Structure 1
Amino acid sequence: MKKTILISIMLLQCVLLSAQDKVQIRVTASSPAASFEQEVGSAKIKVAYSRPLVRGRKIFGELVPFDKLWRTGASDCTVLTTFEDISFGNTILKAGSYSMFSIPSINEWTIIVNTDTTLHGETGYDEKKDVMRFKIPTEKSPYFYETFTIELNDINSKGEAFLKILWENTTVKIPIKSKEDDALLALIDQHVIKGKTQDAALLFQAANYYYSTNRDNKLAITWLLEAEKLNPQNFYYPNLRQKIASELKEYTNAIEAAKKALALAEKEKMKSAIETLKKRIADWEILIKK
């Protein structure tokens, strides 16, 4: 028995020694790779880049000199891919993949979009392959960014957003817009405004888009009234109308629309909608009496 235990201990020691021989200490990447994909309206946009760290250094004006071409990141060039034509910095950027460079200055950056996505840093950069250059003012960030960051943020219902470049205390915001908003407005103009459609669903969709993108809400209400005439049994038409009228502070009209929506909700036994509408009507009636 003792002999068996001794052999087991010896075998365990051999395993531990063998494991120690294989130990490796890896250094964390100084500029870790990153990528993200984001929808903006109808557009899908992807960015792949490397993220250098500050590590106690002065970045802009020293590590990244002012008024000189910069890879806008580290390692290989930063690559931006858009799967449809978009407005990028207020200029149309065709669908495709591009490298993104910059020339930082104290108060503004020159943003450069180039067709060559195979570059390592600035090596081999050819200005003839640029598809656009434009200037963007810098902003001082209230936060300190230790890690170089590119993000797509501040997305709104019109398909607008900002591609933000953030490092140290510097922020650069590049405006982006998908083509969806212009396309939808063109459809509304063609079929609803000029075409005077008699399609209730299309009138509702146009009103809902105007409402969600904070456009002409009074015009949206006229479209909803037309939709209600064409299809008086649809709950969603007066329900949207009461929301818009409320935001316009037209509480008498909001109550009328809400009562119409309530009757349809009760008919369809829509419990949650019934409770919400009853409360809104009561609240608005109090406001009117004041």
Structure 2
Amino acid sequence: MRKSILSIVVFAVALVSSNNAFAQDFKDLDKSPMDAATYPASYRVSDKLAKVIYSRPQLKGRDLEKLAPKGKVWRTGANEAVEITFYKDVTFGGKPVKAGTYTLFTIPGDSEWTVILSTAKNVWGAYFYNESEDVVRVKGEVSKGKKNLEAFTMAFDGKDNDAKLYMGWGNLVVSVPVKG
């Protein structure tokens, strides 16, 4: 009887200890949290044209041009490079693109940005960007935003299957037409 009680106690201690050993350690919110935008934006519409997943760096008093240098390939946000999914064939910036998931990079410029869709997957930043993986390069129109955005933001707007992808940060807005 003593052996079975001892066995039960040992088993109970081992069980409690094993739960603590596998307890999840949840981290704080990322400094550049991940976000997503879809078109259409309504969650009630299941027939989407596009979805973009990106991280949102913040200016925090820094100069936009230092964070997204002109003339250099930029990951377009923070952390992992942006992933954009088209659920049907589209024209992106006037060029045909097949349905699928792509990585989106940009090259900032003064009056326009080059927006690149790439076949690269699971990419951290733009450190390993390879031009040979480009699917298309299009021009993004640069304009001045109505308000100053502290955090980098991406959004879609449009009507029916005629939309625009907007990328905004500071008082800068870059837009690319997307048609389904």
Query: TM bucket by the smaller chain?
Result: 0.7 to 0.9
**Residue 156 (1) aligns with residue 159 (2):** yes
2:37 maps to what in 1? 36
Judging by fraction of residues, say which structure has more strand: 2
Matches within 5 A, 1:1-290: 28-39=29-40, 43-59=48-64, 61-153=65-157, 155-157=158-160, 159-178=161-180
Q: State whether residues 67 and 105 of structure 1, in contact with CA within 8 Å, keep that contact through their aligned partners in structure 2.
A: yes
Q: CA deviation at 1:83?
A: 1.2
- Give the distance between the partners of 1:160 and 1:66, measured in 2 at CA: 29
Number of aligned pairs?
151
Higher relative contact order (CA 8 A, sep 6+): 2
Q: Find the residue that maps to 1:62 and give its secondary structure.
A: helix
- Give the distance between the partners of 1:48 and 1:139, measured in 2 at CA: 23
Q: State whether residues 37 and 154 of structure 2, in contact with CA within 8 Å, keep that contact through their aligned partners in structure 1.
A: no
Q: CA deviation at 1:126?
A: 1.1
Q: State whether residues 43 and 86 of structure 1, in contact with CA within 8 Å, keep that contact through their aligned partners in structure 2.
A: no
Q: String of CA shifts for 1:36-77, please: whole Å, max 9, x gaps.
A: 332399653111110001111111x22221111100011001
In the alignment, structure 1 segments of 5+ residues that lack a partner are 1-23, 179-290
Larger radius of gyration: 1
What one-letter code is carried by the residue in structure 2 that aligns with 1:46?
A: K
What one-letter code is carried by the residue in structure 2 that aligns with 1:156?
A: K
Q: State whether residues 163 and 173 of structure 1, in contact with CA within 8 Å, keep that contact through their aligned partners in structure 2.
A: yes
1:255 maps to what in 2? none
Q: State whether residues 141 and 169 of structure 1, in contact with CA within 8 Å, keep that contact through their aligned partners in structure 2.
A: yes
What one-letter code is carried by the residue in structure 2 that aligns with 1:176?
A: V
- Give the distance between the partners of 1:53 and 1:30, measured in 2 at CA: 8
In the alignment, structure 2 segments of 5+ residues that lack a partner are 1-24
Give the % identical residues.
35
Please give the TM-score of this superposition, normalised by the length of structure 2. Answer: 0.78
